Structure 1
Amino acid sequence: MTTVVGDVYDAERLREVVAEARPDVVMHQLTDLATRDFAANSRIRREGTRNLVDAALAAGVRRIVSQSIAWAYEPGSTPATESTPLDLHAPDATRRATVEAVATLEAITAEAPEWVVLRYGMLYGPDTWYTKGALMADLATTANLPTGPDITSFLHIDDAATAAAAALTWPTGPVNIVDNDPAPASTWTPTFAQSVGAPPPKPTPSSNATAPHPTTPADSGAADSGAADSGAADGGAAAGQTAGGGTADNAAAGGPTAGAVPGEADAARTPWARGASNAYAHSLGWSPTHPTWRTGFTS
């Protein structure tokens, strides 16, 4: 395999890089979150995706696999499925800007003859924000981790990688890639705090307080400058930077996410913080090796 480095914001050079690599597939895992600059991350979703997809199509690439997120769905009372509309009319301007950038990324990806959008859950594991010494561990250590009713669907970084590989042969369309155990912060934060050696979290006074929602590992490397590592081999994939509702009983059994959102009353929950269903991914033959954060945080 040959590794080629290019700047995703340099459209002309990026076309040259992808053309020289001659990939069969382009895997878009670009982010810009090392400094928690969400505007920069939205820019890479819009402009970076545009340039990368244009370069791929110009090189004759038929299949593109792109990273998206599983918490951009509109409000609801059950875990979101792939057919749930995105929250494009969110009243909060910051959230609306994020969702609009996600929708742009997905629409541009869909210009390819074959495409898969991987809507990842909240990533945890090595080199993510949910590990010792990283952002969420620091919040836990200083007792600043919100513990309200908002639902999160998690995903271990290793399971994100297996889904990306499987997506090379999946049918066109979006796929939720999350574990089997969506849970309110009041449920998962004690386990997370214990896993990073932090004290038990204090209850959150505000019913709508929610933890930050990063989309990728904090150590996002080349994403800081919008650089894309494009590796290709015969029959291989050119890649942008790589990223490397169920109940507890259902998760422990390894079953797909289904049913109502667990946790406290919907009235107390941020409406869009509903979790996501992985039933479709299970039907495609994928299942997380870390089916629940309950054991994943400590593995």
Structure 2
Amino acid sequence: MRILIAGATGAVGRLLVPMLLDAGHHVTGLSRTPAGAERVRRQGAEALQADVFDAESLRRVMTNTAPDVVIHQLTALSDADGEATDRLRREGTRHLVDAARSAGVGRIVAQSIAWAYMPGEGPAEESVPLDIGAARPRGAMVDGIQALERTASELESAVALRYGILYGPGTWYAPGGAVAAALAGDPSARLLAYLEADRSVTSFVHVADAARAAVAALDWPSGPVNIVDDEPAQGREWLPVLATALGVPLPEPTAGRLDWARGASNSLARSRGWRPEHRTWREGFAAQAGPTRPLG
């Protein structure tokens, strides 16, 4: 299968490229920078330098590569830039889908998130509506996710992978990453994550499991699928475990809870054969090793 990856050098993309190559696919990775394109080539894939905000050049790239599937893993979260990520979800997805249609590509697998659901009790399944109308800044994020998923669904086949909070190499939650700096009290640590040891519930997924899900989703039917581990947990449970693994001070527990922070169920993904190798953040946090590498 010919696969074009937008976001091939991100935390998920850099793991996804070799997985797809090992599975026998022909892979082309997009990067905004020459250094990023060279990184993709060193992994054994083809690489092209392209800007997803340049609709015309993206259309030419799509026509020339003629992929069977587009995998959309674009974010700006390496820079903790929520506004840029929202723009990528709206405008970047729009340009990817338009270019795909112009080249006769009918399938897309896109990165979404599993914490945009409406408030409620218990882990959310995919049938729960998105939290449209939420106050900003959350509302802008949810709007971006809605735009991404709606735009992707214009293609004949579109799978939206609603990832839990990503941890592992190349993420904020790795040793030496932004979360460690924030928990250690670094005032310059720019962060979008919610870090309170309260009763708010979070679902996590290791980046390697997220990449495996993207490979598996090449054959899945259209629609959203939660990609999370087996143990949604309150902040007062997971945050001390993470702090210990990172070697930073333990946060004080609090009693509050964000009503939308409910976690997500992975039942649908499991019914399709996907299983997280890191079944719970408890083992995954402890297994993290090595410093975070810069994304690009």
Using the size of structure 1 for normalisation, the TM-score is: 0.77
In structure 2, how many angstroms separate the alpha carbons of the residues matched to 1:280 and 1:34? Answer: 29
In structure 1, how many angstroms separate the alpha carbons of the residues matched to 2:101 and 2:215? Answer: 21
Higher relative contact order (CA 8 A, sep 6+): 1
Shift of 1:37: 1.7
**Aligned pair 1:100/2:143, yes or no?**
yes
**Aligned pair 1:197/2:240, yes or no?**
no
The answer on whether the counterparts of 1:115 and 1:172 sit within 8 Å (CA) in structure 2 is yes
Shift of 1:133: 1.1
Structure 1 residue aligned with 2:16: none
Q: What is the total number of aligned residue pairs between the two structures? A: 236
Shift of 1:162: 0.3
Shift of 1:18: 1.0
Within 5 Å, give how 1:213-252 maps onto structure 2: none
In structure 1, how many angstroms separate the alpha carbons of the residues matched to 2:186 and 2:59? Answer: 47
Structure 2 residue aligned with 1:21: 65
Identity of aligned residues (%): 53
Selected match of 1:54 from 98, 122, 129: 98
Structure 2 residue aligned with 1:6: 50
In structure 2, how many angstroms separate the alpha carbons of the residues matched to 1:202 and 1:270? Answer: 17
**Aligned pair 1:272/2:272, yes or no?**
no
Runs of at least 4 residues of structure 1 off by over 3 A? Answer: none
Within 5 Å, give how 1:77-226 maps onto structure 2: 77-90=121-134, 92-142=135-185, 145-204=195-254, 207=255
Selected match of 1:289 from 274, 277, 285: 277
The answer on whether the counterparts of 1:143 and 1:201 sit within 8 Å (CA) in structure 2 is no
Within 5 Å, give how 1:248-259 maps onto structure 2: none
How far does the alpha carbon of each residue in 1:92-130 deviate from its partner, in whole angstroms, 9 at most, with x for none?
Answer: 221111101100000000001011000000000001000
Specify the SS of the correspondent of 2:59: helix
Shift of 1:140: 2.1
Q: Unaligned regions of 5+ residues in structure 2, if any?
A: 1-44, 188-194, 288-296
Q: What is the RMSD of the two structures over their aligned residues, measured on CA atoms?
A: 1.3
Residue 294 to residue 59, structure 1, CA distance change in 2 (3 Å): same
Using the size of structure 2 for normalisation, the TM-score is: 0.78
In structure 2, how many angstroms separate the alpha carbons of the residues matched to 1:69 and 1:143? Answer: 27
The answer on whether the counterparts of 2:78 and 2:171 sit within 8 Å (CA) in structure 1 is no
19-28 vs 134-143, which deviates more?
134-143
